[in-house]
Amino acid sequence: MDILTQTEENYLKAVFKITENDEKVASTNAIAALMNTSPASVTDMLKRLAGKGFLNYEKHRGVNLSEHGNVLATNLVRKHRLWEVFLVKMLDFSWDKVHDIAEQLEHVQSDELVERLDLFLDRPQFDPHGDPIPDADGKMTMRKQILLSTLAPNNEAVLVGVQESAATFLQYLDKMRLSLGTQLKIIERFEYDGSVKIMLTGGEEITISHKVCENLFVQKTK
């Protein structure tokens, strides 16, 4: 019986997001910060979700997803990203506007809907921010991408994803004419503040801050 409330689903997603990279467990505080709620509320919910078998939880030790919880969370990510593709590709939304709407759409319950949407969109592998879309079995194709901040001068690369997807950041990229697929070459890295001068296709040269570099995923092309 896998009928969770939207709130419960959001908690699972939060744990997923926090633990998907390095972290082994998600802390109460981290979850509270991510969800704009109080640590006390988080503790309550963690106990509920652990009781239902979606989380592994020991007092004061943080949580992570059980196998069952992981399936649920992955499916939510799949739905979220598929809807984002729909919004951008079909409804012509800009990539900085789709997150909030997809947050709502991802909670619609219908396996058949997801399957048909996936088919309609031609089984996309990446969402508008370059994030991989899990397939119906939870598998996703990973790219050998690196952060732009780790790339040495003279290398050439193509922008394939963003780490952060806050609207303000995406709008900044739009202004700079940086979009997924953009080819670029590292001209110079300034050690003083970590900013980097890059050349875009067409020869235009721009300088971007270290913070921006840390939020751009690229693949080396030469």
Residues that bind its own copies (CB under 8 A): 87, 90-93, 97, 100-101, 104-105, 107-110, 112-113, 116-117, 120
Contact window for DNA (CB under 7 A) among 31-39, 123-131, 167-175, 176-184: 31-39
Q: Which of 5, 109, 154, 207 binds DNA (CB under 7 A)?
A: 5
Least distance to its own copies, CB of residue 116, Å: 4
**24 in contact with DNA (CB under 7 A):** no
Q: How far apart are CA 7 and CA 65, in angstroms?
A: 16
Q: How far apart are CA 218 and CA 145, in angstroms?
A: 5
Least distance to its own copies, CB of residue 124, Å: 15
Q: Which of 17, 23, 27, 103 binds DNA (CB under 7 A)?
A: 27
Q: How far apart are CA 17 and CA 32, in angstroms?
A: 13
Cα–Cα distances in Å, from 76 out to 46, 187, 192?
18, 40, 42
96 with 84: CB under 8 angstroms?
no
Q: Which of 38, 104, 141, 179 binds DNA (CB under 7 A)?
A: 38
Cα–Cα distances in Å, from 45 out to 8, 19, 56, 97, 206?
8, 17, 13, 29, 46
Q: Which of 42, 55, 82, 87 binds DNA (CB under 7 A)?
A: 42
Contact window for DNA (CB under 7 A) among 43-51, 164-172, 187-195, 211-219: 43-51
Among DNA, its own copies, none, partner that 52 touches (CB below 5 to 8 angstroms by kind): none
Q: Which of 47, 97, 143, 189 binds DNA (CB under 7 A)?
A: 47
Cα–Cα distances in Å, from 49 out to 12, 148, 165, 183?
8, 38, 28, 45
**Backbone phi, psi, residue 139, to 5°:** -85, 140
Among DNA, its own copies, none, partner that 48 touches (CB below 5 to 8 angstroms by kind): DNA
Among 47, 46, 113, 56, residue whose Cα is nearest residue 86: 113
Among residues 44 and 204, whose Cβ is nearest to DNA? Answer: 44
Q: How far apart are CA 209 and CA 222, in angstroms?
A: 23
Question: Furthest-apart CA pair in the chain: how many Å?
Answer: 58
Among residues 111 and 205, whose Cβ is nearest to its own copies? Answer: 111
Residues that bind DNA (CB under 7 A): 5, 7-8, 27-30, 36-48, 57, 59-62
